[in-house]
Amino acid sequence: MSAGRAGRWLAIAASVVVVVTIAAGLLTIGSPGQQRESRLDRKREQDLRAIARAIDRRTKAGRPLPTSLDTMAAEPGQRLSVTDPASGAPYDYQTTGNDGYRLCAVFGTDTASPSRLAWVDEDWLHGSGRYCFDRKAERKKG
């Protein structure tokens, strides 16, 4: 085998290794679009968790459930994101009884599937598309 031919085979082999490595990486971590959707969904989850914590602080202080997320976010000292990071649409909020409320958002990924990652907060597992979380506000003890 000539040196030129050996070099060509080495280049082909190296190219195959690079392609296989890239493909394996994409299968493992997902495409850039999937990664973007995952980041946006993590932000949505963080926003909803922060809203739920603010509602709990409010009700533990003896105050009623907020009438809307906008009014609660506008209160002095509040720093809440009440809109979707991608679309800018407001998160959905409804009271569902004396202490109950529902928070909804539109998600791009499904964290409730069996292939979900272990570090996902199980209280906030969701399917893709519009998904709602039913919560009960914590009340002041005593």
11-27 pLDDT per residue, tens: 787 787 777 777 666 66
Question: Cβ contacts of residue 131 below 8 Å, gap of 6+?
Answer: 104, 105, 106, 107
* pLDDT, greater one: 122 or 62: 62
Domains of the chain, residue spans: 1-30, 32-136
Is the pLDDT score of 1 beyond 60? Answer: no
Which tens digit of pLDDT belongs to each residue from 40-68?
Answer: 999 999 999 999 999 999 999 999 999 99
Question: Cβ contacts of residue 127 below 8 Å, gap of 6+?
Answer: 107, 110, 112
The mean pLDDT value of the chain amounts to 85
User: What's the whole-number mean pLDDT along residues 103-108?
Assistant: 96
